[in-house]
């Protein structure tokens, strides 16, 4: 079987200031079957080219949404991308089958530690619970939602830990 074509939709408010996601993106880009698409660098004015984005989605088998967790959700540019690109007739509704059968992987990093993301922890909810809107979106579009790739407690992470995250991400993408 030929390798799956993987599209990493990368959303960061300030890509140049990123540490963890930057390392992950570099690891992803070293795989020959991965295309990294940095939304903020491409659309600093948030004016998304819907046709170009839909074309990219059609050309890939696996869609990865990679982002730092902001306010228990995605960065604004990724929400704008969802609202503009996942349109009626494309992602859902009549003839809206263009994403059907593709895999969707969410890859995210959180400042909060892992133990905060549970009932009784200071964030009260698990990451799986907080990411339900993306899971429901995958469901509506007929995509196969993959177990999330998440790294918690990333603030001040040392270089060795950063390397481990990048390697684990590389391995996870290679196995898709």
Residues near ligand FMN (CB under 6 A) are 12, 18-21, 68-72, 109-112, 154-155
Q: For residue 37, what are the β-bridge partners?
A: 9
Q: How far is the CB of 52 from ligand FMN (least distance, A)?
A: 25
Length of the chain (residues): 176
- Is the Cβ of residue 23 or residue 143 nearer to ligand FMN in the bound state? 23
| C-beta separation of 69 from 134 below 8 A | no
Task: Name the minimum Å distance from CB 20 to ligand FMN.
Answer: 4
Q: Which residues contact 175 (CB under 8 A, 6 or more apart)?
A: none
Q: Closer CB to ligand FMN, residue 110 or residue 137?
A: 110
Spatial distance between the Cα atoms of 106 and 19, rounded to a whole number of angstroms: 18
The distance of closest approach from Cβ of residue 119 to ligand FMN in the complex, given in angstroms and rounded to an integer, is 16
Q: What is the sign of the dihedral through the CA atoms of 133, 103, 27 and 46? A: negative
- Nearer CB in complex with ligand FMN: 4/118: 118
Chain centre distance of CA 166: 15
> Nearer Cβ to ligand FMN, position 8 or 99?
8
Q: How far is the CB of 62 from ligand FMN (least distance, A)?
A: 21
């Amino acid at each position: 079987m030929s390798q799956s074509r993987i599209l990493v939709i990368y959303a960061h408010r300030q890509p140049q200031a990123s540490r963890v996601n930057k390392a992950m993106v570099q690891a992803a880009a070293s795989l020959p079957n991965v295309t990294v698409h940095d939304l903020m660098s491409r659309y600093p004015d948030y004016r998304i080219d819907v046709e170009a984005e839909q074309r990219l989605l059609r050309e890939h088998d696996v869609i990865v949404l990679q982002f730092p967790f902001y306010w228990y959700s995605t960065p604004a540019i990724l929400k704008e991308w969802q609202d503009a690109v996942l349109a009626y007739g494309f992602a859902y509704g009549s003839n809206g089958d263009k994403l059907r059968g593709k895999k969707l992987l969410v890859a995210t990093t959180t400042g909060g530690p892992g133990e905060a993301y549970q009932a009784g922890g200071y964030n009260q909810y698990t990451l799986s619970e907080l990411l339900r809107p993306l899971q429901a979106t995958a469901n509506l579009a007929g995509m196969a939602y993959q177990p999330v790739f998440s790294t918690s407690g990333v603030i001040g992470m040392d270089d060795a830990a950063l390397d481990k995250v990048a390697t684990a991400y590389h391995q996870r993408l290679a196995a898709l």
